[in-house]
Amino acid sequence: MLKLLQEADVVVCVGSGGVGKTTVAASIAVLGAQLGRRVLVLTVDPSRRLKTTLGLGDQGEITKIKDPSITGELWAGVIQPKQIFDDFVRRAAQKVELAEKILKNKLYIQLSTTLSGSQEFTAMEKLYSAYESKKYDLIILDTPPTKHAIDFLHAPEKLSVLFNEKISKWFRDPEGKDRGLISNLLHTGTRQVLKILESLTGSEFIHELGDFFFNIQSWQSKLQDRTAAVHRLLVGTKTHFCLVSSFDEAKLKEAEFFSREIKKGGYQLSSVIINKAYPKWLDPQLNAPSDQQRTGNTALHSLWNQMTDYYRQKDTCNRSFAAKMSSRCPVLKLPELEHDIADFQGVKEMADVIRQVGVQS
């Protein structure tokens, strides 16, 4: 892990929701900065408390975080999908009036905030512009929460079909006025489809949709270039993926599946982190209960037995998972700290734990 943080340009933390990606991303960023690198961590909508403790503003600007333990630099920014999307539109549209027209389109408003894929797109957009700025040695990207880890990689594909030239032409010119007779005949089917869509949704929807596609015409190629550049960066040798998972069987199964998919896609999976693998004070190896504890009969005794049994069983699942994965990449097990991590002190503590675990393995 330490070697990775010294050499990588980009580390992308992926994983399904609630496994502690944001905390892990922040912690390895601190670790990288403690190793003397200029690090930027980009996180998606962390809780307000983490935001205030890290001293981040609400406007999504990148802020420098100072701490005596940091020998390099540590910068942090919150990804604001709506704002990044709007910025992208303004840059791509070139003309102010055109940009404003798109920004006011009702469907654009829905698209930039709620559409599946828009968060992922903006995360990658922010990553790439930070990379291009060359202000940082290492960028850590905390990806948006998804139900499944794999959703993050599929999202840009989903979004880019929207900007496919064919779809746009179809909406910009539904009557086929610009086409010749033969082309017109070929498009009869498409017109029929449009009619059906209209009967399903109403003419107002179709009107907004057509308007939307007409307006984004100018920045389609820019978006596609951007997507291609981001893809090149993500499959590059100095970009590493770090899969964060939690300690339950379904999540581990998903992690296994994801690690296969990620390799298939040509990305480098460089480490798997199993977060909250066991409570720090109840390491199954260190705390084998004595016979005396086993025979106690108070409610507390039975709770102790239940808990240790439970974590020992989980540890078995975890070992078989690590054995399966170890041929592909290293697996780090992190304990659950004694208190919640909700401030910079907690993040630093986690960074220390990762350093220790990383050295051991």
Partner 1 sequence: MEIIFITGKGGVGKSAVAAAFALNRAQLGKKTLLVELGDQSFYSDFFNLSHVCYTPVNLKPNLDVALLSGQESLKEYALHLIKVESLYKIFFENAVTKALINVAPALPELAILGKITSGPPRNVGPKMPYDCIVVDAYASGHFEALIKAPQGMAQAIRFGPMGDQCRSIDAVLKNSNICRYYVVSLPEELPVVEACELASQIQSTLGVKPIHLLNRCLPINDEDLHHQESKDLQAFQKRMQQQLQHEKEFLTRLQTENHNVFRLPQIYQVDPWKVVETLAQEIPNA
Strands 73-79 and 63-65: antiparallel
Write the burial class of residue 248 (CB in 10 Å: 0-12 exposed, 13-18 middle, 19+ buried): middle
Q: For partner 1, which is the closer residue by CB, 263 or 301?
A: 301
Residue 110 binds partner 1 (CB under 8 A)? yes
Q: Hey, what are 350's tokens? A: 């986690």
Task: Give, as ranges, the residues between 311 and 330 that touch partner 1 (CB under 8 A).
Answer: 313-314, 317
* Secondary structure of 60-81 as H, E, C letters: CCCEEECCCCCCCEEEEEEECH
Residue 197 binds partner 1 (CB under 8 A)? yes
Q: For partner 1, which is the closer residue by CB, 204 or 225?
A: 204
Q: Binding string, 272-291, against partner 1, x = CB under 8 A? A: ---------x--------x-
Q: Are 230 and 99 in contact (CB under 8 A)?
A: no
Residue 294 binds partner 1 (CB under 8 A)? no
Q: Hey, what are 104's tokens? A: 């006011």
- Binding segment (CB under 8 A) for partner 1, from list 85-93, 175-183, 187-195, 327-335: 187-195
Distance between CA atoms of residues 271 and 11, nearest Å: 10
Count, residues near partner 1 per rule CB under 8 A = 71
- Measured CA angle at 120 (ends 115, 121), to 5 deg: 85
What is the widest separation between alpha-carbon atoms in the chain?
91
Residue 186 binds partner 1 (CB under 8 A)? no
Taking alpha carbons only, the member of 149, 150, 155, 160 closest to residue 119 is: 155
Task: Give, as ranges, the residues between 66 and 105 that touch partner 1 (CB under 8 A).
Answer: none
Residue 292 binds partner 1 (CB under 8 A)? yes
Residue 264 binds partner 1 (CB under 8 A)? no
In this chain, which of 58, 182, 203, 237 binds partner 1, going by CB under 8 A?
A: 203
CB 29, min distance to partner 1, A: 18
Task: Give, as ranges, the residues between 26 and 65 that touch partner 1 (CB under 8 A).
Answer: 45, 47-50
Rounded to 10 deg, the angle between the 220-235 and 118-133 helix axes is 70
Q: For partner 1, which is the closer residue by CB, 70 or 216?
A: 216
Distance between CA atoms of residues 17 and 20, nearest Å: 8
Task: Give, as ranges, the residues between 117 and 156 that touch partner 1 (CB under 8 A).
Answer: 117, 145, 147-148, 150
